[in-house]
Amino acid sequence: MEIAKNVRDFLVGMKETLSPEEDQLLSSLQTLHEKYLNIMEDFSVEVSEKALSMSPESRMEAHQLRLKIYQDWRARLMERVFDNSKEIASAEDAKSHVPECDCCCCELTRRLDSYEIVTADYIQAADRFNINRQWEHLQAKYVGTGHADTTKFEWAVNQHRDTLASHLGHSDMMAYFAVAENESMGRVRYNMLEKILQPCGPPPQKEEE
C-alpha cells in the first residue's frame, strides 16, 4: 500500500480549495505525517522479516492493521484540519502546551504514540504465537525422542540461544521442519533436532558402569 509522503498529497481530493488557516495548518503537520510514515515503514519491515514464520492469517491481520491505522490517520487529519482549522491554527501559535492539551499538534502526537504501541504489541503477540506454534509442532512430531518433553520455556530459551549462535551453521528452524517426511531422513532430523535444542552440542556420553 503506497502512502503519500507529503501531507497535502495524502489528503488530496478531500477539498478543492484550502483556506489560509487550513493551508498554514497543513504545512505545520508535515513533521507529524513523516513520523506516521516512519511508524508504518518500521511495522512493514518487521512483518516482512517474520513473514516466513507467520501464518497466512497473521499476515492478513497485519495488512488489516496497516489499513485501519491508515484510515484512522487520514480521518484524524481531515477532522482536525478541515472542521475547525481557525481555532486550531491559533492554538498552534502557543509557545507552551499544558498536559492533555487538545490542540491539533498534541492530539495527533498522542494518536501517533498509540499507533506505535499497537504495532509493537502486534509484533510481540506474533512472536508469542510463533513460539507456541513451533513448540506444539515439536511436541507432536518428536514424542518419545526425549526432546519433546522439554518445557515451553526451555524450548524458547534454546531456540533464542540457537539464533544467537548462528555462526555454528545451524539451519533455520522453519527450513528444518520443511525437510521431506520419510524414514530415510529420520536420523538426520533427529540429529539436527539435537543441535537446535542444544546449540553447543549434545551432552557428553556417560561412561558405562
Mean pLDDT of 18-40: 77
Rounded Cα distance between 113 and 74, Å, is 16
Closest CA to 155 of 147, 144, 165: 147
What are the C-alpha distances in Å from 111 to residues 6, 17, 36?
19, 26, 10
- What's the pLDDT tens digit per position in 102-146? 677 778 888 888 888 888 877 777 665 555 555 555 555 554 555
| Distant-in-sequence, close-in-space partners of 81: CB < 8 Å, separation ≥ 6 | 11, 22, 25, 26, 29, 88, 104
Q: How confident is the model at residue 8 (pLDDT cuts 50, 70, 90)?
A: low
Task: Give pLDDT, residue 184.
Answer: 42
Residue 98 has pLDDT above 80, yes or no: no
Q: From the DSSP assignment, how many helices (H) and strands (E) are in the chain? A: 9, 0
Rounded Cα distance between 94 and 92, Å, is 5
Rounded Cα distance between 66 and 4, Å, is 14
Residue of 121 and 22 predicted with greater confidence: 121
Rounded Cα distance between 196 and 175, Å, is 12
Residue of 209 and 9 predicted with greater confidence: 9
- What's the pLDDT tens digit per position in 157-199? 455 444 444 433 434 443 343 333 444 444 555 555 555 555 4
Site of grid cell 518428536: 142
